[in-house]
Structure 1
Amino acid sequence: MSEVTDQETSADDTTDVAEEDAAIESTEATDVSTDEVAADSVAPTKAAPVDLEKEGEVAADFLENLLDICDLDGDIDVDIDGDRAAVAIVDSEDGRVPRRLVGDNAKVLDALQELTRLAVQSATGQRSRLMLDVAGHRAGRRAELVEIAQEAITSVKESGEKVALESMTAFERKVVHDEVLAAGLSSESEGVEPRRHVVVLPA
């Protein structure tokens, strides 16, 4: 079976294209995830700030109830990051957030994020693209990925040869694609899960 390769795209300033919402072929770099709609679908209009605030409130209520049911410590922080709600479970005065809520390769965190999105969708009637973090895991991983991307960018610019990175999740690939695009290069994702990875291409 041949390996799957597809060119990633990035959202422009007037459309809301993300890894969960659209798969649009172009030469710019943005990760395409498995739950995207078809390429000829019309991208939804950006949600108004009040909608994102509502998403955050619903998500916070859901997560607070979940922590109470499971008798786990943690506070909920809610913010807006660009065009999506950003919710985080952080350490509280009563205790630390159990790191098992992140899990190996952030699998538990990803599952918890999807449950939270479904809870928001059930309450608002609109599909949610909120991002969930637990104990700063995604924030820390993002910093690592930026460093990895910068090293690959430097290597590609100096050698003129493409560089293939390690296997990554959709979230991780998106971070790398954004860094590569900002550096004036292009990138694409190759392979199939769980070995899907980013390849940084020369200009």
Structure 2
Amino acid sequence: MLKEAIAVGATVELAKEAACKELGVETFDDRIEFEIIEMQSKKVLGLFGGRPAKVKVTLKQNAAQTAEEFIKKIIKSMDLNDITVTTKDEDNIITIDIEGEDVGFIIGRRGETLDALQYLACLAANRVDSSYKRVVINTGDYREKREKTLESLGRRLAIKAAKTGRKSSLEPMNPYERRIIHTAVQKVNGATSWSEGENMNRHVVIGPDGKSKDYNRGGRGGRRSNYSRRGSKPKTSAPAPNPDRKPLNEGGEHGLYGRIDK
């Protein structure tokens, strides 16, 4: 996305300064390009003819600025007031933090609106140049809280699957959230996870891992119950965490929806 200004001045340099001032940048800013439309000319005999210089200055926005401007326009169109947008660009990751009283409208149901904004901002940002930028939009630590909730859910259902031998189907999720579930499940011995469904209906299923030693101990549910000599309730314990099991890589290394090529 480009911004430009055309200005005139007694000399090319003065015209350039006037155009930069209109754009709110300095003449030495490395984001600007300038084009001389007309060179200045002197009056003949100091009386006739002559004209000022005319220069066009173009301000090239980078990916982070483009993404931020896009989000601000969306927020404005939603008639939301007192919203602050802060942007950081580090290591090819553009992080946009949105703060304010009405951020609930931006998050939406289960973060669906926030995810959509993030996806569109990523599209806008990566049209600027050939390098890929990952865009992450957060508000009120929503992403962190959501991730912890999904991790807890995945582990709880994985333990349940390992104990009972039954599977559970979760609600449809985007690739990034499915990957969080897979990661949590794969750390529980005796349980595994996979994805089913297509497009918007794709969801995670958590079930017992038939290849696991913790599951194949015998018994109807795949696990053998340990009873005390007096016939008391079975002694069960949660499967031990296994950090060495590799999670399924849904969502790739490029954020919420994966890399978006032009």
Q: Where does residue 101 of structure 2 map in the other structure?
A: 96
Number of residues of Structure 1 aligned to a counterpart in Structure 2? 142
1:194 to 196, 200, 213: 200
Q: Higher relative contact order by CA 8 Å / sep ≥ 6: 1 or 2?
A: 1
Q: Where does residue 95 of structure 2 map in the other structure?
A: 87
2:146 to 141, 156, 161: 141
Could you tell me how far apart the structure 2 residues matched to 1:163 and 1:156 are? 8
**TM-score under structure 2 normalisation?**
0.45
Could you tell me how far apart the structure 2 residues matched to 1:146 and 1:79 are? 27
1:1-203 to 2 correspondences below 5 Å:
58-59=63-64, 62-64=67-69, 66-67=71-72, 70=76, 72=81, 73-78=83-88, 85=93, 87-91=95-99, 95-96=100-101, 98-184=103-189, 185-203=191-209
The SS at the match of 1:194 is: helix
Letter in 2 for 1:160: G
Q: Which moved more, 1:147-156 or 1:124-133?
A: 124-133
Could you tell me how far apart the structure 2 residues matched to 1:104 and 1:90 are? 17
**TM-score under structure 1 normalisation?**
0.57
The SS at the match of 1:122 is: coil
The SS at the match of 2:200 is: coil
Which of the pair has more CA radius of gyration?
2
Could you tell me how far apart the structure 2 residues matched to 1:60 and 1:135 are? 21
Which protein has the bigger helix share? Answer: 1
In structure 1, stretches of 5+ residues that fail to align are 1-56
The SS at the match of 1:188 is: strand
Could you tell me how far apart the structure 1 residues matched to 2:92 and 2:193 are? 24
**Cα distance change of structure 1 residues 58 and 79 upon mapping to structure 2, 3 Å threshold:** closer
C-alpha offsets along residues 4-24 of structure 1, whole Å, 9 cap, x if unaligned?
xxxxxxxxxxxxxxxxxxxxx
Q: Which moved more, 1:66-75 or 1:192-201?
A: 66-75
Could you tell me how far apart the structure 1 residues matched to 2:73 and 2:172 are? 35
Give the deviation of 1:86 after TM superposition. Answer: 5.6
Could you tell me how far apart the structure 1 residues matched to 2:71 and 2:202 are? 32
Could you tell me how far apart the structure 1 residues matched to 2:111 and 2:131 are? 25
**Cα distance change of structure 1 residues 125 and 84 upon mapping to structure 2, 3 Å threshold:** closer
Could you tell me how far apart the structure 1 residues matched to 2:123 and 2:149 are? 29
The SS at the match of 1:88 is: strand
Q: Where does residue 38 of structure 1 map in the other structure?
A: none
What is the root-mean-square deviation in Å for CA atoms of aligned residues? 3.0
